[in-house]
Structure 1
Amino acid sequence: MNVDPPFGPVVNGTQIVVFYYYRPNQPAAYTFVALFGLATLGHLIYLIRLRSWFFIPFILGGIAETFGYFGRAQSSNNPIKAGPWILQNFLLLSSPPLLAATIYMALGRIIRALDASDHSMISPRWLTKLYILVDIGCLGLIVQLVALSIFVLLAWQVHRRTKRSPTSVMVKDPSMNWENHFRCVQLITVAIIVRSIVRMVEYIQGDGGFVMSHEVFIYLFDAALMFSVMLTYLILHPGRLVRDARRLRKSHWGLDGTPLVKV
Structure 2
Amino acid sequence: MTNDGPFGPVVNGTQIVFYEYRPNQPAAITFIALFGLATLAHLVCTFILRAWFFIPFVLGGICETFGYVGRAWSHKDPARPGPFILQNVLLLAGPPFLAATVYMSLGRVTTALNAQHLSKISTRWMTKIYVIIDIACIFSQFIGALMPVNGDEESIRKGHTIIIVGLVVQLGALSFFILTSWYIYWGIMRDPTNLSMNKLLGNWRKCFRAIEIVTVIMIVRGVVRAAEFLQGEGGYVISHEAFIYAFDAALMFMIMVVFAIVHPGRLVRANIRSMNLAQDTMLQNLQ
Provide the TM-score with structure 2 as the length reference: 0.84
Q: How far does the alpha carbon of each residue in 1:108-166 deviate from its partner, in whole angstroms, 9 at most, with x for none? A: 00000011111111211111100011112245122221111000000000000011111
CA contact (8 A) 1:155 1:186 kept: yes
Is this contact kept in 2: 1:7–1:15, CA < 8 A?
no
The structure carrying a bigger helix percent of its residues is 2
Name the aligned partner's letter for residue 5 of structure 1.
P
2:113 and 2:120 map into 1 onto residues whose CA distance is 15
Is the contact between residue 200 and residue 274 of structure 2 (CA under 8 Å) also seen in structure 1?
no
| 1:189 to 2:215 alignment | yes
CA contact (8 A) 1:16 1:80 kept: no
Equivalent residue, structure 2, for 1:78: 77
1:164 aligned residue (190, 204, 214): 190
Partner of 2:135: 136
Local SS of the residue matching 1:126: helix
Compared CA separation, residues 123 and 211, structure 1 to 2 (3 A): same
- Secondary structure in structure 1 of the residue aligned to 2:238: coil
- Cα distance change of structure 1 residues 6 and 114 upon mapping to structure 2, 3 Å threshold: same
1:259 CA drift (Å):
7.6
Contact residue 24 and residue 72 of structure 1 kept, 8 A: yes
Q: CA RMSD in A?
A: 2.1
Q: In the TM superposition, what is the alpha-carbon distance from 1:170 to its structure 2 partner? A: 2.2
1:62 maps to 2:61: yes
Which residue identity is paired with 1:100? Answer: A
Tell me, in whole angstroms, the C-alpha distance in 1 between the residues paired with 2:241 and 2:87. Answer: 14
Alignment partner of 1:173 is 2:199 = yes
2:74 partner SS? helix
Instruction: Give the conservation status (yes or no) of the 8 Å contact 2:107–2:124.
Output: yes
Structure 1 partner of 2:119 = 120
Q: Secondary structure at the match of 1:24?
A: coil
Q: Which structure 2 residue ranges, 5 or more long, are not aligned?
A: 141-164
Structure 1 residues 52, 8: CA separation in 2 closer, same or farther (over 3 Å shift)?
A: closer
Q: What letter corresponds to residue 240 of structure 2 in structure 1?
A: H
Q: 1:11-70 CA distances to partner (integer Å, 9 max, x unpaired)?
A: xxx987552111111000000000000000000100110000010000000000000001
- SS of structure 1 residue aligned to 2:22: coil
Aligned residues with identical type, % of pairs: 53
- 1:237 aligns with 263
Q: For 1:8 and 1:51, how far apart are their aligned partners in 2?
A: 46
Task: State the partner residue of 2:250.
Answer: 224
* Counterpart residue number, 2:93: 94
Shift of the 240–174 alpha-carbon distance from structure 1 to 2, 3 Å rule, reads closer
Alpha-carbon separation, structure 2, partners of 1:65 and 1:214: 19
Amino acid in structure 2 at the alignment position of 1:250: N
**What is the alpha-carbon distance in structure 1 between the residues aligned to residue 63 and residue 260 of structure 2?**
18
Q: Distance in 2 between matches of 1:8 and 1:129?
A: 41
Which amino acid counterpart does residue 222 of structure 1 have in structure 2? D
> Contact 2:9–2:15 (CA<8 Å) still a contact in 1?
yes
Counterpart-to-counterpart distance in 1, 2:42 and 2:113: 23
